Amino acid sequence: MEGWVNWMWLIPALPLGAAGVTALLPRRARALSASLAIGSLALSLLLSVGCFLQTLNGETARQTVRFPWFGFGPGDAGVLWLGWVLDPLSASMLVMVSGVGLLIFVYSVGYMARDENFTRFFCFLSLFAGAMLGLVMSNSLLGLFICWELVGLASYLLIGFWFQKPAAAAAAKKAFITTRVGDLAFLLGLVWLYGSTGTQLFYDGGRGCLEGVALNRLVMETALWGWSAAQWIGLLLFIGAVGKSGQLPLHVWLPDAMEGPTPVSALIHAATMVAAGVFLMARVYPLLTAGVAEGAGAALTVMAWVGSITAVFAASVAVAQNDIKRILAYSTISQLGYMMLGLATGGVAVGMFHLLTHAFFKALLFLGAGSVIHGCYEEQDIRRMGGLRRWMPVTFATYMVGMLALAGFPVLFSGFWSKEEILHAAHAWPVASGPFWLGLTGVFLTAFYMTRQVVLVFGGEGPRGAVGAGHARSEAVHESPPVMTVPLLVLAMFSVGLGFVGTPAWPWIQGYLAGEAVTLDWTRLVSGEVWKLACLSVAGVALGMGLGIWLYGRARKAAGEVEEPLMRLPAGLYPALRDKFWVDEVYEATVIAWVRALARWSDRMDRWVWNGLVQMLALATELVARLSRATDEGLVNAGFDAACGGLRSQGGRLSLWHNGRVQRSLALMAAALVLLIGWWVWGGSGR
């Protein structure tokens, strides 16, 4: 195991190196840029699998490597350390990020084939992959934060990849600024943690900030409202996770991020980046539970409520969206809420199980949506689609697998098992029952909006609107090439099979993440306790799917726009759902308006106050300079010049009398001397 942990640095270094090399390549080096990106990530995947297999042996629960970054004082206390950790949590995330990322990289070769900035795209993809891999293997909160910010930078570059489109440029800036709000709280939590514990390494032979000594210190340190420092730091870190994982109220950037290329949506906003916030909470889980009763900590309570409310809110909005990618974007926000709920009520294993299953089926859905957009000549409005199952059979079959996994269709699909784990944990949570009922409501809504989407996109006789107009239907719609469909098939297999490693009969993934051995026991699967609660969930899925088929199967038309059954909802409800409960408008009228007002006030202060003061100082300085010049020239210089002129005049007169004759001078001196002697002699004798 020691050998693998010592080579882990190569896992993020390979794609980061590929990004650096690709950045220097000319635009025409398309094949080389794709080969570098795919090859480097494939090697990272092999190394990740090696690390994962070593953790299966159970030789040690956790192994770390650290190195000094820089020092500012004597001893270890005066050194900032960075490092990486190999444990089940990091190993499983490394395999997921590199595995899903590799499939998306391959898919991108086909999807971006006609883009003139193909090389730049793979440079940004590699940068993101390297940063994300560094994030999940980091053994220090500071190192995690550095990679966290690199991930944000790569996200900004990829969302705004088509920067010539105003909407894409605006979406990139919106994502970057909104997530900075959460990042500020993250940074404050990091500083507080380091100030209280003297370290930001997670695990360091008993001295780490997530180990006993440091946690006891944080529990004993009381802060505002009597909460311990551990709870306050946990809340600050959770706010950081809220921004990155698109939870209320910092979710507004994620739907707009769909302006980027579809592979970006699959990689960043489904499988990896948005899951970084959930991963952060899983990594610092010992901090969240330090010194509190099971599931009753302030940070966990806030997390459970925020996650469950977000799950229902985003699912409600998704039912009235018409852009195929925006539906999936709100679905992602909703599912991230479920992950937060699972972490808060059931622990790391519950939340991470859904994170891993969701990564595969949501990446499948986004790539399937990209295949639909590619085959429909960039059309994204589901009301203008229809009948695509006839011309895109592979895309349809794999999309159905992803849809059923997301909806939680019973037994066969991974989403069912991971979602049930969350609902069971929420039901058993001793603090409150509200999050459970919110989660159950989200199950119905998820099944409904995904059924609506599939019926409108793949059902019916043929394309409607712009997709079908002006083309023979066989020409207007076409299946994607194998470089795009093969990744769909691989993701579909994992969307089915991954759930079976977390069933009640064989909860292997839960035991692996917890470091515990598990055995196969079929009696747990047929236990009545398991299925009592599952029946409610299955009923919600059946009701949602049935209602979706009934409403939209009847509303379909062979041509023209689809009649929207939701418009018959009580007055004002459909516009609220369609317009996302006007959250963006509220932000525009409050936060953005206040910022603009502050900017205008700052501009006026700069123009009339600060600039006026500067101008007054400048004028005063100029006046003093002019006065000084006048004094110098009119008084000092004039007086000195006059004195010098007088001396020169008197000297001239004397020089005229003297006239340069030495003999005259000597004669005068002699005469004076004679007179002086005479006066002295005769004057002295007379006395």
Q: How many CA atoms does the CB half-sphere of 661 hold within 13 Å?
A: 10
Secondary structure element (H or E) that encloses residue 84, with its range: strand 79-86
Instruction: Judge if 371 and 350 occupy the same domain.
Output: yes
List b or e across 145-181, with b for residues whose CB sees 16 or more CB atoms inside 10 angstroms: bbbbbbbbebbbbbbbbbeeeeebeebbebbbebbeb
Instruction: Judge if 558 and 659 occupy the same domain.
Output: no
Instruction: Judge if 535 and 622 occupy the same domain.
Output: no
In SS3 terms, 630-643 reads as HHHHHHHHHHHHHH
- In this prediction, residue 123 carries a pLDDT of 95
Q: Give me the phi and psi of 571, to 5 degrees please.
A: -50, 130
Secondary structure element (H or E) that encloses residue 403, with its range: helix 393-407
How do residues 262-297 score in pLDDT, each as one tens digit?
898 888 876 678 889 999 999 999 999 888 776 678
Q: Are 173 and 252 in contact (CB under 8 A)?
A: no
Instruction: Judge if 564 and 643 occupy the same domain.
Output: no
Answer yes or no: is 145 within a domain: yes
Distance CA 65, CA 203 (A): 10
- In this prediction, residue 660 carries a pLDDT of 54
How do residues 360-372 score in pLDDT, each as one tens digit?
999 999 999 999 9
- From 565, 584, 603, the end of a domain falls on 584
Other beta carbons less than 10 A from residue 461's beta carbon: 14
Instruction: Judge if 450 and 418 occupy the same domain.
Output: yes
Instruction: Judge if 545 and 645 occupy the same domain.
Output: no
Instruction: Judge if 608 and 580 occupy the same domain.
Output: no
The alpha carbon torsion through 372, 376, 382, 388 (nearest 10 deg) reads: -70
Answer yes or no: is 545 within a domain: yes
Answer yes or no: is 120 within a domain: no
pLDDT means per 10 residues, the chain with 687 residues, are: 81 95 92 94 95 79 85 72 92 94 93 90 95 95 94 93 92 92 94 91 89 89 82 95 92 90 84 88 92 79 95 95 93 95 91 93 93 85 86 93 93 90 92 94 96 90 57 62 92 91 84 77 65 87 93 63 76 87 89 89 85 86 86 72 75 60 73 83 61
32 burial type by CB count under 10 A (0-12 exposed, 13-18 middle, 19+ buried): middle
- In this prediction, residue 477 carries a pLDDT of 77
- From 518, 551, 584, the end of a domain falls on 584
Q: Taking every pair of C-alpha atoms in the chain, what is the biggest distance, in angstroms?
A: 159
Distance CA 2, CA 601 (A): 60
Q: Are 369 and 324 in contact (CB under 8 A)?
A: yes
Domain that holds residue 152: 69-85+136-466+496-584
Angle separating helix axes 141-159 and 166-197, nearest 10 degrees:
180
DSSP 81: E
The alpha carbon torsion through 316, 539, 338, 583 (nearest 10 deg) reads: 10
How do residues 193-238 score in pLDDT, each as one tens digit?
999 998 899 998 888 899 889 899 998 888 777 788 999 999 999 9
**Gap between the terminal Cα atoms of the chain:** 130
Q: Are 63 and 2 in contact (CB under 8 A)?
A: yes
Only one residue has tokens 């469950």, namely: 308
Identify the CA nearest to 328 among candidates 373, 282, 292. Answer: 373
Q: Are 90 and 135 in contact (CB under 8 A)?
A: no
Instruction: Judge if 313 and 450 occupy the same domain.
Output: yes
- In this prediction, residue 121 carries a pLDDT of 94
441 burial type by CB count under 10 A (0-12 exposed, 13-18 middle, 19+ buried): middle
Answer yes or no: is 387 within a domain: yes
List b or e across 294-324, with b for residues whose CB sees 16 or more CB atoms inside 10 angstroms: ebebbbbbbbbbbbbbbbbbbbbbbbbbbeb
Distance CA 376, CA 379 (A): 6
Answer yes or no: is 633 within a domain: yes
Answer yes or no: is 198 within a domain: yes
Instruction: Judge if 665 and 559 occupy the same domain.
Output: no
Distance CA 113, CA 137 (A): 33
The alpha carbon torsion through 366, 43, 90, 518 (nearest 10 deg) reads: 90
Answer yes or no: is 46 within a domain: no
- In this prediction, residue 34 carries a pLDDT of 93
Secondary structure element (H or E) that encloses residue 66, with its range: strand 63-71
Distance CA 403, CA 271 (A): 15
Instruction: Judge if 332 and 432 occupy the same domain.
Output: yes
Answer yes or no: is 344 within a domain: yes
- From 551, 584, 617, the end of a domain falls on 584
Identify the CA nearest to 326 among candidates 597, 125, 612, 579. Answer: 579
- In this prediction, residue 512 carries a pLDDT of 87
Please tell me the total number of residues recorded for the chain in this structure: 687
Instruction: Judge if 595 and 568 occupy the same domain.
Output: no
Secondary structure element (H or E) that encloses residue 383, with its range: none
What is the count of structural domains for the chain? 2
Instruction: Judge if 527 and 637 occupy the same domain.
Output: no
- In this prediction, residue 421 carries a pLDDT of 92
- In this prediction, residue 473 carries a pLDDT of 47
